[in-house]
Amino acid sequence: MSDDYRKGLLWTSLGVLCLTPDSLLVRFIDTDPWTLLFWRGLLMSLSLSAYLLVRRAPLSQMNGKGWLAATFLALSSACFVFSLQSTHAANTLVIIATSPLIAAVISWLFLRESIPLATWAAILIATSGVALSLGDGLQRGNLTGELFALGSALAMACHFTALRWWRSEHATLAICGAGFLMAGVSLLWAKPTSVPAPDIGWVLLLGAVVLPLAFAMMAVGPRYLPAPEVGLILLGETVLGPAWVWLFLRETPGPSTLAGGAIVVLTLTAHSLYRKKQSAKD
């Protein structure tokens, strides 16, 4: 396994791990979607701005490719929040899990990247595992929430593909830009002071800690990994997300959830080991 591949795998995995409480925290916050998007975007960008200021990141690096990646991330986050407001979290996560397949097609069409057969197989098997674990949730959803989730999956796939096209050392600039875009657009309909006092702590945790850490680390991945492989690692959120729900809300996963989760984890492990073996031969 090359150093670049190992670096991309590490940072992307850590980012996904940080992102797993996202849906749980969104459910904890009792406010309308536009207000949540405003604080979600503003706090994330302010936190990242402080980091970029310390690192003295050159703002001139934020070109058209960077803004394209930022726009797709803002769209994905908005669709994600609206989906969670309209349907069960299980529905949202299982549909967003299709982003690796979408990323594979987009990368092939626009970046002309060849997708290894092993990666295609891993994506298909892992996605089937997610569908198995959350199949019951899909039947309880509604069309509006599921369409928002599909929009989030499409935008997220485009975001990672745009980051890989950009290949900038300062991809965090795109994450910061996405937050300001979210906050600016959401302010047209948001009511920033309407967040209940008990929920302010959850808003701060989500916007100022979880999101900036997660997306900043995940932004490193596309520099070293093909977009479909980044999306494949994202499937881990679909497995670990329900674990947070169980920990705080004591919702015990059913047999199908456990079986689907096992398929995803085993597939991710097998794919990583295969990639390591193939890299060692090169």
Q: Is the pLDDT of residue 76 over 90?
A: yes
Using alpha carbons, select from 270, 243, 271, 230 the residue that is nearest to residue 101: 230
Would you place residue 140 in the very low, low, confident or very high pLDDT band (cuts 50, 70, 90)?
A: low
pLDDT tens, 157-174?
A: 999 889 888 877 778 899
Return the ∠ at Cα 233 (arms to 126 and 61), rounded to 5°: 145
Neighbours of 63 (CB within 10 A): 11
Looking at per-residue confidence, does 112 or 176 come out higher?
176
pLDDT at 256: 72
Percentage of the chain exceeding pLDDT 70: 91
Using alpha carbons, select from 49, 57, 165, 33 the residue that is nearest to residue 107: 165
- Global pTM value: 0.83
Using alpha carbons, select from 264, 248, 221 the residue that is nearest to residue 97: 264
Q: Is the pLDDT of residue 281 over 70?
A: no
| Separation CA 216–CA 230 (nearest Å) | 14
Sign of the C-alpha dihedral, residues 234, 236, 238, 244?
negative
Looking at per-residue confidence, does 70 or 280 come out higher?
70
pLDDT at 169: 76
Would you place residue 154 in the very low, low, confident or very high pLDDT band (cuts 50, 70, 90)?
A: very high
Looking at per-residue confidence, does 27 or 255 come out higher?
27
Which whole number is the average pLDDT over 261-268?
80
Distance of CA 160 to the CA centre of its chain: 9
Which whole number is the average pLDDT over 77-105?
83
Q: Is the pLDDT of residue 67 over 80?
A: yes
Q: Is the pLDDT of residue 135 over 70?
A: no
pLDDT at 85: 85
Q: Do residues 84 and 92 make contact, with C-beta atoms less than 8 angstroms apart?
A: yes
Would you place residue 112 in the very low, low, confident or very high pLDDT band (cuts 50, 70, 90)?
A: confident
Annotate 96-110 with b (16+ C-beta within 10 A) or e (fewer).
bbbbbbbbbebbeee
Q: Is the pLDDT of residue 50 over 80?
A: yes
Sign of the C-alpha dihedral, residues 12, 163, 23, 178?
positive
Would you place residue 217 in the very low, low, confident or very high pLDDT band (cuts 50, 70, 90)?
A: confident
Q: Which residues contact 182 (CB under 8 A, 6 or more apart)?
A: 37, 38, 40, 41, 42, 74, 77, 78
| Separation CA 282–CA 269 (nearest Å) | 20
Q: Do residues 176 and 52 make contact, with C-beta atoms less than 8 angstroms apart?
A: yes
Would you place residue 40 in the very low, low, confident or very high pLDDT band (cuts 50, 70, 90)?
A: very high
